[in-house]
Amino acid sequence: MTARLTAWGVTGIPEIHPDDQLGDIIAEACRGEPNGPLQNGDVLVVTQKVVSKAEGRLVPVDANDPLSHKKLVEDEAVRIVRRRGDLIITETSHGFVCANSGVDLSNVERGQAALLPKDSDRSARRIRDIVRARLGVEVGVIVSDTFGRAWRKGLTDVAIGVAGIAGLVDLRGTPDALGRVMQVTEVAVADELASAAELVMGKSSGIPVAVIRGADASWLRESSVRELIRPPQEDLFR
């Protein structure tokens, strides 16, 4: 694995609006970064919110009517997993299990809600392609979102779309340090990278993109976030 990992937030990204070319904006901001130019093998982590905004995934919601939000949540769900009071845990069409189908009212204008991108792998590929074209570097791209967990308090950022970076890295069959064969160690590398990125982006500081330098070369491959989604029939908790 890798010996050293560095993460920083990309400054200078303006408020994003529908039809903005997000890849161009990110490439331009990275060009002026005080941390220096992007390098081959860097991983860009881009929050869902700006992807959804650029892709026009904003819908009106009546800010004074909780039922308006609730209807959106139900419309975006393929399955209600749990419900208690105002809290709704759903499965989305992408296969994500999260609160409120990922429909989000924070960091969007009042009266609007942001839906998840339709296909965040595609969103990630577009950003990667534009960065390659503009800056001549081959990066991995993760679209991240902030999800809750069963059993544990607090939110962590996870990958909802990937391009050029592994979702899972399979260490099954790799001997452990004592030479025994390991049992199951598929590491959710894209989720761990998203979590590391969250730590430098913060929630309220308006930094929607981070760079992570030092990813192991073996992690940089074609992939899909579907690697990270546990099929319902294998899942003991829905």
Residue 9 near residue 64 (C-beta atoms within 8 A): no
Sequence length of the chain is 238
Closest among 156, 144, 90 to 117, alpha carbons compared? 144
* Single residue of 17, 31, 79, 82 touching its own copies by CB under 8 A: 82
Q: How far, in Å, CA of 63 to CA of 214, rounded?
A: 43
The answer to the question of residue 233 lying near its own copies (CB under 8 A) is no
Instruction: Report, in Å, the least distance between residue 72 CB and its own copies.
Output: 15
Restricted to residues 119-138, the positions that interact with its own copies (CB under 8 A) are none
Restricted to residues 145-184, the positions that interact with its own copies (CB under 8 A) are 146, 149-158, 167-168, 171, 174-178, 180, 182-184
Q: Which is nearer to its own copies, 134 or 224 (CB)?
A: 224
Residue 167 near residue 188 (C-beta atoms within 8 A): yes
The answer to the question of residue 62 lying near its own copies (CB under 8 A) is no
Q: Which is nearer to its own copies, 109 or 133 (CB)?
A: 109
* Single residue of 109, 118, 136, 222 touching its own copies by CB under 8 A: 109
CB-based contacts of 195: which residues, under 8 Å, 6+ apart?
A: 156, 157, 158
